[in-house]
Amino acid sequence: MAHYLITGHTGFKGAWLIFLLRAQGHNVSGLALDPLPGSIFDRTNLNSDLVHDFRVDIRNRAEAVEAIAQARPDFVIHMAAQALVREGYRNPRYTYETNVLGTLNILEAVDQTDSVRAQLIVTTDKVYLDQGLNRPYVETDPLGGRDPYSASKAMADILTQEFLSREGAKPGAIARAGNVIGAGDVSNERLIPDIVRAIEADESLVLRYPEAIRPWQHVLDCLWGYLTLLGAVHDSNEQGAWNFGPERHASLSVRQVAEISAEAFGIALRIQDNSGCQFAEEEYLALDSSKAETVLGWTNRIEGFEAISMSLVPVGGLSRERMVAEVEEFLSRPSR
């Protein structure tokens, strides 16, 4: 049994990661801002599962250093971020401060905590420079960003590469993933939560980029990739950046996901095209995960259509018992 500290533990991915680690018998601490209203973290009383529940803004270096030193974890998984593209346009300074300086603060805090054996820094699939190649990105593709969120995460990725290359740095690696879906996401301006809210309210679904292609992956497959990589960092000294995404056929358009969701509910979902909105995003985004598959032996256990249907759960219908059961069922599945 090991002790993991998760930054961003009150968020959607963080809550699922707590359940996944606890199901394997590990101790967990967290460092994050307060959860969003209606979050699964609050609904399932996850703070009772934690050794430490630090409410810290990662932009505050002193508080981050003190919290991690107090927790004395074996492993650190850094996921805390300003994670919304459109919010990055609206509040670029906060986005850069959180994603770049916040990451540096966590790296320095880990560096000063002698208990830490290995660390994982999570960036995003949007760190890759859009060159219009219309193919899945591989880890050696150039990084860049044409919006504040993407640019800030690319900067954090490059910063982490430099920091981890220093002599004496704690072992670590970078995980790149995105468009993770699953039950219980309450974030604004994300497709699955928007679909569920539109269906519950019997309102039209506004699609900002209906023809945009994205790699839709179930949250548990993504998180299992993170844990597999972190284990390899500790056991085999694996390093560098690693993609975690779905099979290529799971890269569907936003419109296709909405249509699949409507079919799953057995309704005719009214779609409102708002593709003329002011904030630009890439039209095509997919990841090549063959490195993780070949070297780590990691594969997705939940295929694309099942991942979508498993995600279409109103937050009010997501109980602690259901989440525990989903995690246990996932862990019982063989790799495909």
Q: What is the pLDDT of residues 225-238, one digit of tens each?
A: 999 999 999 999 99
What's the whole-model pTM score? 0.94
Q: What is the pLDDT of residues 46-57, one digit of tens each?
A: 999 999 999 999
For tokens 């209606």, the residue is 38
Whole-Å CA distances, 274 to 195, 204, 270, 319: 15, 11, 13, 34
Instruction: Copy the structure tokens of residue 275.
Output: 């593709």
What residue numbers bound the domain in which 29 lies?
3-332
Q: Is the pLDDT of residue 9 over 60?
A: yes
Backbone angles phi, psi at 116, to 5 degrees: -70, 125
CA distance 186 to 197: 9
> 313: pLDDT confidence band, cut at 50, 70 and 90?
confident
Instruction: Copy the structure tokens of residue 317.
Output: 């219908």
CA distance 178 to 282: 13
Q: What is the CATH classification number for the domain harbouring 39?
A: 3.40.50.720
Q: What is the pLDDT of residues 165-224, one digit of tens each?
A: 999 999 999 999 988 999 999 888 788 888 888 888 778 888 888 888 888 899 999 999
Q: Is the pLDDT of residue 100 over 80?
A: yes
Q: Is the pLDDT of residue 277 over 70?
A: no
Number of independent structural domains in the chain: 1
H and E: helices and strands count for the chain: 13, 13
